[in-house]
Amino acid sequence: MTSPSLGASMATLVAALVSCSATDESAAVDPTSLVEAAIAGDGARCTKSSECPGNVCYYEYCTSLRDAGLTWMEHELAAVLRPHAPTHFPLISVKALATVDEQDPFTMDRVAGFFGALGDARAIPLITPWLESPSERVRVRTQLALLRLGAGFEYAEALLDHSSRAVALDAIDAILSLPQGPERSRFMAVAAGTGDLAERVRNRAPSATK
């Protein structure tokens, strides 16, 4: 026979669990609102990145894609939105492209970098025209993005041999983000045989140097 006090305790526990479940469901993030905030949100004050929709707190302000000025920000914002890309890519792409000013190459290369990090191949036709940009920065960032999306192997060798070490290192990371395959292995072997890049390859993919 269950004692009254034990029965009351069990009822309280069940009620608490139901309450927590309801709270969790009500607190669930609305993907549409998240996309809007992560891509074009105004910078609210913050003390840490976890307080921001896009998980980027910079100089005490939440940073959206529209204001992202560093590559790691593009990647962080893409990581936040990646789980929603399968069902919300049309919205993500429209919002991201709306931040582009074709007279400002920095806005184009930022969005190219974001699409590459997002990893959704539906971005390929959206950014491919930027390969014809008069800005070398935009062309290179677009090539890197296409490489990440599996559509830019023809640019890999030139990127690995680029005069900018940062570009060459980004090319390695782009190749490493791809599934295993003959092309990936071939370019990893090329990078592993290049003294200046071999250390990066050893750190990221030790098997490629063996």
CA distance 108 to 91: 18
- 206 is a domain residue: yes
- 75 is a domain residue: no
For the entire predicted model, the pTM comes to 0.81
Domain that holds residue 194: 152-210
- 61 is a domain residue: no
- 146 is a domain residue: no
Which of 200, 193, 108, 90 lies closest to 145 in space, CA to CA? 108
CA distance 54 to 72: 12
Count up the domains in the chain and report the number: 1
- 190 is a domain residue: yes
Residue 196 is predicted with a pLDDT of 67
Classified as helix, coil or strand, 45 is strand
- 82 is a domain residue: no
Q: How far is CA 46 from CA 29, 36, 133, 142, in A?
A: 19, 18, 36, 32
Residue 195 is predicted with a pLDDT of 67
Residue 7 is predicted with a pLDDT of 46
What is the pLDDT tens value at each position of the chain, 210 positions in all? Answer: 445 544 444 344 334 433 444 334 334 679 999 999 999 998 899 999 999 999 999 999 999 999 999 999 999 999 999 999 999 999 999 999 999 998 999 999 999 999 999 999 999 999 999 999 999 999 999 999 999 999 989 999 899 889 998 998 899 889 888 888 888 888 888 777 776 677 777 776 645 444
CA distance 115 to 108: 11
